[in-house]
């Protein structure tokens, strides 16, 4: 189960990266310094990673999910 755990951690990091980018683009949109299509693309990526994580979670037992979340918490 180690492989899926690593992939989940990587997907969580990517999701966080896209969510942070969304915040920055929204700030730029308020200043008329970005295009709405950029925000739409970011939303697509966020949806992709949320779906990917949901699918991965289905493949794990509740113990594996808890262990992964604990690892994430101690790494941050």
Distant-in-sequence, close-in-space partners of 56: CB < 8 Å, separation ≥ 6: 4, 7, 8, 11
For 22, the 3-state DSSP assignment is helix
Task: Identify the pLDDT of residue 71.
Answer: 72
Alpha helices in 31-61 (DSSP H): 36-58
Main-chain dihedrals φ then ψ at residue 59, nearest 5 degrees: -85, -5
Task: Identify the pLDDT of residue 76.
Answer: 62
Q: Using the 8-state DSSP alphabet, how is residue 50 labeled?
A: H
pTM of the model: 0.75
Task: Identify the pLDDT of residue 30.
Answer: 93
- Report the chain (76 residues): mean pLDDT per 10 consecutive residues: 76 95 95 92 97 84 68 70
Task: Identify the pLDDT of residue 62.
Answer: 63
Distant-in-sequence, close-in-space partners of 65: CB < 8 Å, separation ≥ 6: 57
């Amino acid at each position: 189960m180690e492989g899926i755990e690593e992939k989940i951690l990587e997907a969580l990091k990517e999701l966080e990266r896209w969510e942070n980018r969304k915040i920055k683009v929204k700030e730029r949109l308020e200043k008329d310094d970005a295009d709405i299509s950029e925000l739409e693309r970011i939303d697509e990526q966020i949806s992709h990673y949320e779906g990917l994580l949901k699918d991965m979670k289905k493949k794990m037992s509740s113990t594996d999910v808890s262990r992964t979340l604990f690892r994430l918490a101690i790494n941050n």
